[in-house]
Each structure stands twice: as C-alpha cells, then as structure tokens.
Amino acid sequence: MPGSDNFLDADILQPRPMAAHYKSNTDDFNLELSQMKRMIARKTTDNTMPDVDSKGDKLLAFAKFVSKYESFYELNRLIGIAVTLPVTSVEAERSFSSLV
C-alpha cells in the first residue's frame, strides 16, 4: 500500500501468483515499478504528488493516480484487477499463497 516501506518493491511483488496468473510481462512490470517509484519521488519533491495516503481506500486512490499514465500498462492492469476482485477472492488467494 502507498506509504508502506515496501511499496512498489519488485522483489516483494514479483513472486506473487497474481502476476503469473494474469500472465504479466515481468520485464515490463519491473521497469514500470522502477519508473513509478522515481516519478512518485519526483512529484513528492516538487509537491505535485496527490495525497493517496490519507484517503479511505489507498489502493483505489493509487489506482486512480496510475490510470492517468498509459505508459504503465502492466501496473495499471494488475491494480485494476486487484481493485475489482471481490474481497472473498482476494482472501482466498492470500490464504492459498501462504500455503505454497
């Protein structure tokens, strides 16, 4: 989640089965994560970064922010899927992932 120490950390996000299940291009995904981190740092420095941390649903706020940029195709696609998955599906996937 935005504001987390591990936010957009490719080493943590990459092994997730969701990216593999939805056949993400891992090379593109890693590049997008790196560029998104740089863009957030730059926008934070010049005070043009929208506040995605204080809103109720941080993932939805971040999804709206990312959706403005077409160049983040894989990130946009996976966040869109994560936002629209029913909570029960996410909980089931998380439980299954912890067993593997």
Q: What is the pLDDT of residues 38-95, one digit of tens each?
A: 888 888 889 888 777 665 577 788 888 889 988 899 989 988 888 887 666 666 565 5
pTM value is 0.67
Every domain of the chain and the residues it spans: 13-99
Predicted confidence at residue 100, as pLDDT, reads 43
Q: What angle do CA 1, 59, 45 make, to 5 degrees?
A: 65
Residue 26 has pLDDT above 50, yes or no: yes
Residue 13 has pLDDT above 70, yes or no: no
Q: Which residues contact 32 (CB under 8 A, 6 or more apart)?
A: 71, 72, 73, 74, 75
Residue 96 has pLDDT above 70, yes or no: no
pLDDT bin (cut points 50, 70, 90) of residue 99 is very low
- Judged by average pLDDT, the poorest of 7-16, 24-33, 88-97 is 88-97
